[in-house]
Structure 1
């Protein structure tokens, strides 16, 4: 009696769908970074690639089970489908992990009661509401700053911060003698095509200057995976470092001036009176 050994159709379709999902994913990324497709089209393409990859992964698991029981051919096909689908699911898996780890920060500010004014974004949307407790737990460094530096100096450091981060400045108002408040509004673009507006307010206080910062997404989204919150927290930490360097350099200049003003030593053969 001749035993017919067949190739598992589950394994065949697992490799086909897995390969298609990888091609769709890579093509979407290439077209996105070359500016050929809009961000929303890119997100739809990534979503479709993830759906095909999930189906391919399921078929691979089923193929492994069937092959173990029947002894048919297709282990290599099922394995290739499993590997390809796992690779194509990396973006979706990363997004899901960020969704579980971070609250939505579609409109977030260090000053909830009086946030800096926006120039482009539409504030106060109900779907943009952020839980203050969740925000404080996940972003402990996302708080307004108070520095013992003149408000003009702090505004210059804020301008440098915007340039160093590659933000597009939309509006920049330096503090004046009559109104010791400076504001800066900038547009921030993420690697994946998300856009948000950054608003920074620098206000004078008796000891120096207060800095408040805000970020609001420019697109209608249901969740930003904590992107705005991470961006603001990193910006504030970078501003802390900039202030530290400014103060250190200033102290170094003062030390050099003091050394130059020291009197010269008396000659060794100077006779006492």
Structure 2
């Protein structure tokens, strides 16, 4: 009776490590999106998963080489682990490819000369987050080059009317409003709303501030959107501002000015 040849051990390890890495990645997404896992912890787990996936891929190549040379079973295990690794590695590779189409900025505003400033979101801010202070002209120049159509909005309505529509727009976009404040400036008074928004898939948090300023018989609306983590945003902040402006314009056009 012939002894059954055991699959090559490295092939079994390739499969098990691949499935384990996929499980860690999936659980990280779920815990961050729904259970409040710290973003820095989640980012480190993602990095660990991608590094492990790279190791799994090369371990699979090593295993297939041994299978080819010595005719031992275990090639299917190696291929399964390598397939999982390739799927995981496609994620950062796709992000890197997409990022080449966008500038390396994470802070977008409709008013580059006097961007809205965060006030309320300074409180209880987690460590390791991006600064809420606007970086200045270098970033502004990059935005001018990349997003030429992002500008302030003006409406022939009072600031109080527009403020209500701004808040409604933020809520309709599923943002969490942190607070509303009236700022008494030496030059002009204005209303300010601060909110946070989450990306749809993983749930990364971005910070948003909207300023409603009364000038004569018009209200000027400016918005600023800032990624809480990371140096680039893949166009997310600009997309959020454009969507906000479109929805706000729609709400203004669908309502009647108060006397």
**Range class of TM-score, shorter chain:** 0.7 to 0.9
Of 242, 246, 254, the residue aligned with 1:245 is 254
Shift of 1:21: 0.8
Counterparts of 1:137 and 1:239 in 2: how far apart (Å)?
Answer: 25
SS in 2 for 1:199: strand
Q: CA 1:125–1:163 in structure 2 vs 1: closer, same or farther (change >3 Å)?
A: closer
8 Å CA contact 2:67–2:73 kept in 1: the answer is: yes
Shift of 1:71: 4.8
Answer yes or no: is the 8 Å Cα contact 2:15–2:82 preserved in 1: yes
For residue 24 of structure 1, report the CA deviation from its aligned partner: 1.3
Contact preservation (8 Å) 1:21, 1:53: yes
Q: Is there any run of 5+ residues in structure 2 with no aligned partner, and where?
A: 123-130
Q: Which residue of 1 aligns with 2:207?
A: 197
Q: Distance in 2 between matches of 1:110 and 1:85?
A: 41
**CA distance 1:132–1:36, change in 2 (3 Å):** closer
1:39-118 equivalent positions in 2, closer than 5 A: 39-64=39-64, 67=67, 71-118=71-118
TM-score (norm 1): 0.71
Match of 1:12 in 2: 12
Q: Give aligned pairs, total.
A: 242
Q: CA deviation at 1:92?
A: 2.7
How far apart, CA to CA, are the structure 1 residues paired with 2:20 and 2:6? 24
- Determine the structure 2 residue equivalent to 1:263: none
The alpha-carbon distance between structure 1 residues 164 and 83, as it changes in their structure 2 partners (threshold 3 A), is: same
> Is the 1:16–1:81 contact (alpha carbons within 8 Å) kept by the matching residues of 2?
yes
Q: Greater CA radius of gyration, 1 or 2?
A: 1
Pairwise CA distance, 1:115? 0.8
Say if 2:169 is the partner of 1:161. yes
- CA separation of 1:124/1:243 partners in 2, compared to 1, >3 Å: closer, same or farther? same
Asked if residue 188 in structure 1 is aligned to residue 197 in structure 2, the reply is: yes
Task: Name 1:33's counterpart in structure 2.
Answer: 33
Deviations 1:118-173 (A, max 9, x none): 113444365x8764454345444422222344433322211111221233333324
Give the 3 Å change call, closer, same or farther, for CA 235–94 of structure 1 in structure 2: farther
**1:20 to 1:218, Cα distance in 2 relative to 1, 3 A:** closer
- Unpaired runs of 5+ residues, structure 1, are 252-273
